[in-house]
Amino acid sequence: MAGWHIGVIGGSGLYELGALEDAQVIPVGSAFGAPSSPVTMGRIGAVQFSFIARHGEGHRFSPSEVNYRANIDALKRCGVTDVLAINAIGSLREELAPGTFVVCDQIIDRTVARERSFFGEGLVAHVSLADPVCGRLAGFAARAAEAAGASVHRGGTYVAIEGPQFSTRAESHMFRALGADVIGMTAMPEARLAREAELPYAVLGMVTDYDSWRDSEAGVEADEILAVMRRNAALARTTLVALADALPAEREAVDIETVLDSAIVTPRAHWQPARLVRLDAIMARLLAQ
């Protein structure tokens, strides 16, 4: 099998990796518009990495303004095999204290104003999202974070909200009642789009605050979140080094890489050439058949 090529999407406070050897900054075009940032490509040991800053250089894009489709499409064009998202998250559980790394395994999508699919307009696909996170990649990420010295919680449900405002106290209590463990603004539609692109996806969330469900405490402030993320950025970079060290030399395929075989419901005879031009990276495997 081919080797690993990890796409990393860095969230608030993580705008560059810094640990890459032979690093090159490459502008990558997308049929879905401009990605958030150029792609920084390089190696950590024998493993290839490609990095995008989700919010752009200088944190220019709010969660609702991020071009999630272009980011995933650009990483697909770079040849990544797996995508690891690094996110700032708020805690909805007492035991998930600020500073904890949470490797989420489920997501509740409460976003409302974002492009959620590469498909439609004459070419329809319905991918399964029962398990939105790749368990194998999540396991590697958890072990790497532990090896880097982080306090790691394995598993948990991430509720993705539209933002850019933080939750009201009532909303925070509601999300706890829904069964969410952490809260953020960017895992969706990222996870949806990664699945449509047949890319295994995992979320490594860094807890920055307790959201607003602790009624006796003040609400969340953006400067406090960024301060925690800056402190954790070095630990995130060390985690990626540990991840590169831990990955098997040979990468075995997973079922996620062929989900479009059963997801596309439009017969091939009806695939419109204009749509295929835009989906040349996302559907490259099928178009080559």
pLDDT along the chain (289 residues), means of 10: 88 67 91 95 94 92 97 98 96 95 98 97 96 98 96 98 95 98 98 98 94 80 73 85 94 97 97 94 96
pLDDT of residue 14: 63
Q: Which residues pair with 25 in a beta bridge?
A: 40
pLDDT of residue 265: 97
Query: Per the confidence metrics, is the pTM higher than 0.85?
Result: yes
- The active-site residue out of 22, 131, 211, 280 is 211
82 is catalytic: no
209 is catalytic: yes
Q: Quote the tokens at residue 189.
A: 């539609």
pLDDT of residue 52: 96
CATH of region 86-287, choose from 3.40.50.1580, 3.40.50.1370, 3.40.50.10800, 3.10.20.600: 3.40.50.1580
pLDDT of residue 219: 67
Q: Quote the tokens at residue 190.
A: 């990222």
- The active-site residue out of 209, 215, 223, 261 is 209
pLDDT of residue 147: 97
Phi and psi at 199, nearest 5°, equal -110, 120
